[in-house]
């Protein structure tokens, strides 16, 4: 099983600041890494696929990078609606696995 | 626009079988190269993939749940279903159905349904 480890567990920032979230895989996933945003009471929303491609309708302030085992989600300038939990997911191998999540909270 | 909707009992007794159905609208469940999956999330915790079924039939399950899980498709109703046997309180979670394709993430999700295991 490919274990995904996200860091930090919690990130406290203010609106307008830059957020950098990390996801590390125990085995290479090439570029088949996705990021989701989840708000309370809602299903996860796909943000990034193939490590760096924004899903339909996702604002340009969200960007992804990385390949192999190390990946980063960057939010260039935080908006109030960006405070949520973020998950990474690998799409390379069965079983499909998710990271444990990073909670982005308002400072 | 593809839409998915979970349905099923919100309360299941311990040791019984949990059964949920996901109804797909706005597209065919038989679409080539599509996988239809189930994911669950305990309240306040992270996401756990349960399993997926390919539009052509093969199934893939999380090894941690494999002995208790069955996923199957009913193409006549454009639905796919989850059965989880011998449930315990640890199976009390929100269950989501979702679609993905090969090497791609879950792009369409249901709203989720909370299932509580309790006598």
Query: So what's the pLDDT on residue B103?
Result: 86
Decide if A91 and B60 are in contact by the 8 Å CB cutoff. Answer: no
Type and span of the H or E element at A106: strand A102-106
Query: So what's the pLDDT on residue B5?
Result: 98
- Could you say which of A45, A49, A101 has the minimum Cβ distance to residue B46? A101
Q: Are A29 and A23 in contact (CB under 8 A)?
A: no
- State how far the Cα of B18 lies from the Cα of B26, in Å rounded to an integer: 27
- State how far the Cα of B4 lies from the Cα of B19, in Å rounded to an integer: 16
- Could you say which of B49, B96, B111 has the minimum Cβ distance to residue A96? B49
Q: pLDDT tens for residues A11-28? A: 999 999 999 999 999 999
Q: Does A36 touch chain B (CB under 8 A)?
A: yes
Decide if B49 and A98 are in contact by the 8 Å CB cutoff. Answer: yes
- State how far the Cα of A11 lies from the Cα of A17, in Å rounded to an integer: 11
- Percent of chain A predicted with pLDDT > 90: 98
Q: pLDDT tens for residues B31-75? A: 878 999 999 999 889 999 999 999 888 999 999 999 999 999 999
- State how far the Cα of B11 lies from the Cα of B118, in Å rounded to an integer: 7
Assign B102 a pLDDT band (cuts: 50, 70, 90): confident
- State how far the Cα of A90 lies from the Cα of A60, in Å rounded to an integer: 22
Pick from A11-20, B48-57, B79-88, B110-119: least confident: B48-57
Decide if B46 and A87 are in contact by the 8 Å CB cutoff. Answer: yes
pLDDT surpasses 80 at B20:
yes
- State how far the Cα of B51 lies from the Cα of B35, in Å rounded to an integer: 10
- State how far the Cα of B13 lies from the Cα of B92, in Å rounded to an integer: 11
Please report, for residues B10, B39, B43, B50, the alpha-carbon distance to residue A95 in angstroms, rounded to integers and kept in the order given.
27, 12, 22, 9
The pLDDT mean for chain B works out to 95
Mean pLDDT of A29-55: 96
Query: So what's the pLDDT on residue B110?
Result: 98
3-state secondary structure of B65: coil
3-state secondary structure of A64: strand
Decide if B46 and A100 are in contact by the 8 Å CB cutoff. Answer: yes
Residues sharing a CB contact under 8 Å with residue A83, sequence separation 6 or more, in sequence order: A104, A105, A106
Pick from A8-17, A82-91, B3-12, B28-37: least confident: B28-37
Mean pLDDT of A34-48: 97
Other Cβ atoms less than 10 A from the Cβ of A85: the count is 20
């Amino acid at each position: 099983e490919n274990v995904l480890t996200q860091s930090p567990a919690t990130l406290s920032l203010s609106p307008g600041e830059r957020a950098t979230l990390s996801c590390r895989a125990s085995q290479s996933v090439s570029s088949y890494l996705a990021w989701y945003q989840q708000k309370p009471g809602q299903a996860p929303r796909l943000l990034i696929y193939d490590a760096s491609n924004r899903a339909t309708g996702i604002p340009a302030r969200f960007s992804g990078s990385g390949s192999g085992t190390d990946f980063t989600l960057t939010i260039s300038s935080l908006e109030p609606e960006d405070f949520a939990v973020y998950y990474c997911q690998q799409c390379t191998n069965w079983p499909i696995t998710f990271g444990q999540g990073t909670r982005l909270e308002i400072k | 626009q593809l839409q998915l909707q979970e349905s099923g009992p919100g309360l299941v007794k311990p040791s019984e079988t949990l059964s949920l159905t996901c109804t797909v609208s706005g597209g065919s469940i038989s679409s080539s190269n599509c996988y239809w999956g189930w994911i669950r999330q305990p309240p306040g915790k992270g996401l756990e993939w349960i399993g997926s079924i390919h539009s052509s039939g093969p199934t893939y399950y999380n090894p941690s749940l494999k002995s208790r899980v069955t996923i199957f498709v009913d193409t006549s109703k454009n639905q796919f279903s989850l059965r989880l046997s011998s449930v315990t309180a640890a199976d009390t979670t929100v269950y989501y159905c979702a679609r993905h394709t090969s090497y791609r993430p879950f792009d369409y999700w249901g709203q989720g349904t909370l299932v509580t295991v309790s006598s």
